[in-house]
Amino acid sequence: MLVSLAGALACAACSTNSPAVASVQKKVQGLLGQPNVTSFLDVRFGDSLYRVQNRFPNGSLETAPYGADTYRINNIEVDGVRYQQVKYEFTTYSGMQLVMAWFTPDSSGKVLEKLVAAVGPPTEQNSAKSSAPADTQAAWQLPHGERVLFDGPKRFVAVVGPGGGPLKQDAAENDTALDTP
């Protein structure tokens, strides 16, 4: 079984134009399960506040409206995506479980493209499929409990981790109440 999986993964790394490769990729996905989001900017869901502070020492500690510890990073660029602000929120027992990020207008397409590449097409979309990313609102409910929100007009993306139930209200309020960070 391991040899078959290793072979399938090796073939999946080949040219994606091949129908055989697409078939292998679907089989590998079936073996590995549905896609999920495990981290954002190298901060994993479940990481401690201490780990995030070490990863981004220039950030600042805050308290969210509902009392959660929050770590804010301003003006960061990663993989061609510019974020004006990124906020990580933490639960008492589950570590980091919510990330909210506000990106620049020119990064809308890259953010949406990375989301679709990572987790597939949205489970909900409030705009036409041919709409520009800056005009698109989309959401994903992932099988491992994560919830991803993308709001192109507000230049906002949020990911609630599998243990982030207590933080969902913060994500909802930030999406509806804030036009800019």
Name the burial class of residue 55, with classes exposed (0-12), middle (13-18) and buried (19+) by CB atoms within 10 angstroms of its CB.
Answer: middle
Residue in the structure block whose two tokens are 């070490």? 54
Confidence of residue 11 (pLDDT cuts 50, 70, 90): very low
Record the pTM.
0.73
Spatial CB neighbours of 151, under 8 Å, sequence gap ≥ 6: 137, 157, 175
pLDDT of residue 167: 63
Sheet containing 147-151: give its strands across: 60-63, 69-78, 81-91, 95-103, 156-160, 147-151, 137-141, 124-125
C-alpha–C-alpha distance, residues 95 and 46, integer Å: 4
> By C-alpha distance, which of 173, 180, 126, 128 is closest to 154?
180
Residue 180 predicted with pLDDT over 60: no
Mean pLDDT over 95-99 rounds to 91
- Residue 92 has what pLDDT? 83
DSSP string spanning 49-68?
Answer: HHHHHHH-TT-EEEE-TTS-
pLDDT at 5: 28
Phi, psi of 180 (to 5 degrees): -140, 160
Average pLDDT over the chain, rounded to whole?
76
| Domains along the sequence of the chain with CATH | 2-32 (no CATH), 39-177 (3.40.1000)
Segment of 2-11, 21-30, 76-85 carrying the highest mean pLDDT: 76-85
- Answer yes or no: is pLDDT of 49 > 80: yes
In the prediction, which pLDDT does 9 show?
29
Burial (CB count within 10 angstroms: exposed 0-12, middle 13-18, buried 19+), residue 44: middle
User: pLDDT confidence of 37, banded at 50, 70, 90?
Assistant: confident
Instruction: Using alpha carbons, select from 14, 50, 8, 54 the residue that is nearest to residue 31.
Output: 8
Q: What is the pLDDT of residue 28?
A: 40
- The residues near 77 (Cβ < 8 Å, ≥ 6 apart) are 83
pLDDT in tens, 100-146: 999 999 999 999 999 999 889 999 888 766 678 888 899 998 887 88
φ, ψ of residue 50 in degrees (nearest 5)? -60, -45
